[in-house]
């Protein structure tokens, strides 16, 4: 497995180096090679607003309404995340504050080949637009020139400014380094496969990224009050993402554990995508039976899953002790599958334990906070004695002289 990772990383690094040195020619070459899509220039890979509008008009009405409803709920949630500029004055007259400004340009990577996720367009683009990002550029792979109409319709609904039919590591390179047509961006966000994730990692020394997300994770904490069918359905729903998902149940009830296991065994032969579900749950899934509620809390916080569902008596009280998951879903009727689409929360979430240090993609990913300070001769005079002590302690006397020179 490590050999494969090294091979993928080497391949991605080569793609990035080629794109950095050869620009558009490399991007076009890789697009033709991997997506079998030939264009005379990168400009020829742009998908115009007229095409987005046609896609919106072409999809069935129920799909359009569903996208619009999801977009409205996602927008409503993220509008509440907006930050404000502020300032205050100390007693000595020093004025301090923060200035909040949006990023100038953001790049969104959206899967669009065999796996097409219009919901990810909404989750990426809407917080960027709510934050006030000046220009939102989306890249989407289009194997053989075919792109999913719902993906394009979602881009139109979300207000994406420009779309390019580019995927893979070369798309990340185009956004990071820029070409004659694709401008370089301040930050690249959005999920992708191994090549995209590694490419984001390798360019992160010069271009901002949101996070390095791995396969889907779902943890469910449940006691004997939980409905075992709900638990089983939820584990299956997330396990169908891929054979690498990490889905599990943490419980204090051996009876619940047995019931959930039996229901999953009964479901698998009857469901679609059952090969993926079976492989994922067999290779990566587990049921942990804990002695106490405290043990369940400790294990959930240690694992820090992408999604954590709490299906216990008094789930709100239980959730107050859980701090590390990317998203916490409380109660029997808050399935992670609903949060992936229309509850309003963002489904781009930290995995691999990174929920311990950050949450979902949000408006905060698309703003920058600058500190502003205004001092006067009078306020400097009042704090100069403290400054003299601290600069002397750190062996930096000229820091103090820069202040003392102003007070003579």
Listed residue (159, 167, 161, 140) closest to 151, CA to CA: 140
How do residues 91-130 score in pLDDT, each as one tens digit?
999 999 999 999 999 999 998 766 789 999 999 999 999 9
Q: Which of 46, 78, 241, 307 is catalytic?
A: 307
Using left for φ > 0, alpha for ψ between -120 and 50, and beta otherwise, residue 95 falls in beta
**Quick check: is 78 catalytic?**
no
**Quick check: is 91 catalytic?**
no
Average pLDDT over residues 52-75: 98
In this prediction, residue 1 has a pLDDT band, given cuts at 50, 70 and 90, of low
> Which H or E run contains 15?
helix 2-22
Average pLDDT, the chain: 95
| CA–CA separation, 325 and 313 (whole Å) | 20
Q: Would strands 286-289 and 246-251 be described as parallel, antiparallel, or unpaired?
A: parallel
CB 122 within 8 A of CB 71: yes
Q: Which of 306, 316, 347, 394 is catalytic?
A: 306
What percent of the chain is modeled with pLDDT above 90?
A: 89
């Amino acid at each position: 497995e490590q050999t494969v990772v090294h091979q993928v990383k080497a391949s991605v690094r080569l793609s990035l180096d080629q794109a950095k040195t050869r620009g558009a020619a490399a991007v076009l070459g890789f697009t033709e090679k991997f997506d079998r899509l030939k264009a005379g220039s990168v400009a020829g890979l742009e998908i115009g607003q007229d095409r987005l509008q046609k896609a919106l008009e072409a999809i069935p009405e129920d799909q359009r309404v569903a996208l619009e409803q999801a977009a409205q709920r996602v927008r409503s949630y993220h509008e509440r995340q907006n930050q404000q500029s502020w300032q205050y004055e100390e007693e000595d007259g020093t004025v301090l504050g923060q200035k909040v400004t949006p990023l100038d340009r953001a790049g969104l990577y959206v899967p669009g080949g065999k796996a097409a996720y219009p919901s990810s367009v909404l989750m990426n683009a809407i917080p960027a637009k709510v934050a006030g990002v000046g220009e939102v550029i989306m890249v989407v792979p289009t194997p053989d020139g075919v792109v999913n109409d719902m993906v394009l319709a979602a881009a139109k609904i979300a207000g994406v400014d420009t779309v390019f039919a580019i995927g893979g590591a070369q798309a990340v390179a185009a956004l990071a380094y820029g070409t004659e047509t694709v401008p370089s961006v301040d930050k690249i966000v959005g999920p992708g496969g191994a090549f995209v994730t590694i490419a984001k990692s390798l360019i992160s020394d010069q271009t901002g990224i949101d996070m390095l997300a791995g396969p889907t994770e779902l943890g469910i904490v449940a006691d004997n009050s939980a409905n075992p069918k709900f638990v089983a359905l939820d584990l299956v729903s997330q396990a169908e993402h891929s054979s690498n998902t990490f889905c599990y149940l943490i419980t204090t009830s051996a009876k619940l554990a047995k019931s959930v296991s039996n229901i999953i065994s009964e479901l698998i032969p009857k469901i679609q995508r059952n090969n993926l579900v079976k492989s994922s749950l067999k290779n990566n899934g587990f049921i942990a039976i804990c002695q106490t509620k405290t043990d369940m809390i400790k294990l959930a916080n240690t694992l820090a899953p992408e999604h954590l569902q709490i299906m216990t008596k008094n789930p709100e009280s239980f959730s107050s002790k859980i701090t590390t998951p990317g998203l916490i879903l409380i109660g029997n009727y808050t399935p992670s599958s609903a949060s992936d689409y229309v509850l309003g929360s963002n489904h781009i979430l930290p995995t691999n334990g990174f929920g311990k240090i950050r949450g979902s993609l949000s408006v905060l990913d698309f703003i920058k906070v600058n500190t502003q300070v205004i001092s006067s001769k009078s306020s400097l005079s009042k704090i100069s004695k403290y400054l003299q002590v601290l600069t002397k302690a750190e062996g930096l006397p000229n820091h103090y002289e820069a202040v003392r020179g102003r007070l003579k």
